[in-house]
Amino acid sequence: LMILSITSSIFLVLSSPSLFISWVGLELNTLAFLPILLSKKNKLTSESSIKYFLTQTLASVIVVVGGLILLVLQTELSMTVILFGLAIKLGAAPFHSWLITVAESLAWIPLFTLLTVQKLNPLFMIWSFSQINSNFFHFIVFSSLLVGSLMGLAQTSTRALITFSSISHVGWFLTGMAFSLETGLLYFLIYSVVLLAPVLLLESTNVSHVNQLPLIQIKLQNQCILFFSLLSLGGLPPFLGFLPKWVILQLSMTFSFYLLALIMILTSLFTLYFYLRLMFSAFIFGGIKIIQEKRSSASFLLNFLLGLSL
């Protein structure tokens, strides 16, 4: 029922030309995700659920205020207010603080959902109702690229590291959508597919901090999957994750956005660095541990995801 509600809300937002109907889809999505947040019952999860709900409610109120201003004035101010509310929902920098605290208390699969599926509705609404060439939009793009990559360098928590990486990728999502919806969705789809393999492996090993990686035993096959998936997630050529970044960089150069292209390249190097640090912790310092394993549907899925990442 929750999955059906989330899926319905996405189609509702995507197909609706009305800001009000899209807002209803946003709220349906928020309410459907709350039970997923509470799937792991403890004090931290309860606090994070309340923080998530209050943040999303505040963002929704801001979007409604922007819609009311739009009805009266129809100026750039209304679009800026709407974009402000949607940026909070998206967890884009510099409105990302709630996302980090919520992410730290989540299990890996709900976290994956928060960092991928839950971003679709705000992204669609930004594309539909906001001025993507405004100064405020550019501010959000640059902030997300810089904050996500630079703050990720200081993280030892694997969840925080993946979350800051996601914030950096938001800058890429938005840049792609500024050129076309198809470009933004291509980046989003590839990012989601590539992210799934590391999330499944980190969930199976129950790793919360980078310094735990040398202490656990990871199957050789899974080490290879994690290795290549993280390289792809960092956008290293010739892996799949490099393809959408290359497309967006080419478009940026075509339209003479040289400063944006330079910042995207530099921030990609930072994100690639902390992915490499994660891999070194797992493989170099921990050594290679070969463990006999039985074939299972999970290993088949990981092999399939590895194939997609290459």
pLDDT of residue 141: 96
pLDDT of residue 289: 47
8 Å CB contact between 27 and 60: yes
pLDDT of residue 136: 92
A 10 A CB-CB count for 178 gives 22
Helices (H) and strands (E) in the chain, counts: 14, 0
C-alpha to C-alpha distance for 23 and 129, rounded to whole angstroms:
11
pLDDT of residue 77: 87
pLDDT of residue 295: 46
pLDDT of residue 291: 42
pLDDT of residue 202: 87
pLDDT of residue 255: 92
Provide the residue range defining the domain that includes 207.
2-309
Task: Name the amino acid, one letter, at 122.
Answer: P
Tokens found for residue 287: 């050594």
* Domain count along the chain: 1
pLDDT of residue 48: 86
pLDDT of residue 36: 86
pLDDT of residue 275: 87
DSSP 123-152: HHHHHHHS-TTSHHHHHHHHHHHHHHHHHH
Give the pTM: 0.90
pLDDT along the chain (310 residues), means of 10: 83 86 91 85 81 94 93 85 94 94 90 94 87 85 96 90 95 94 94 92 84 73 81 89 95 94 95 84 55 48 56
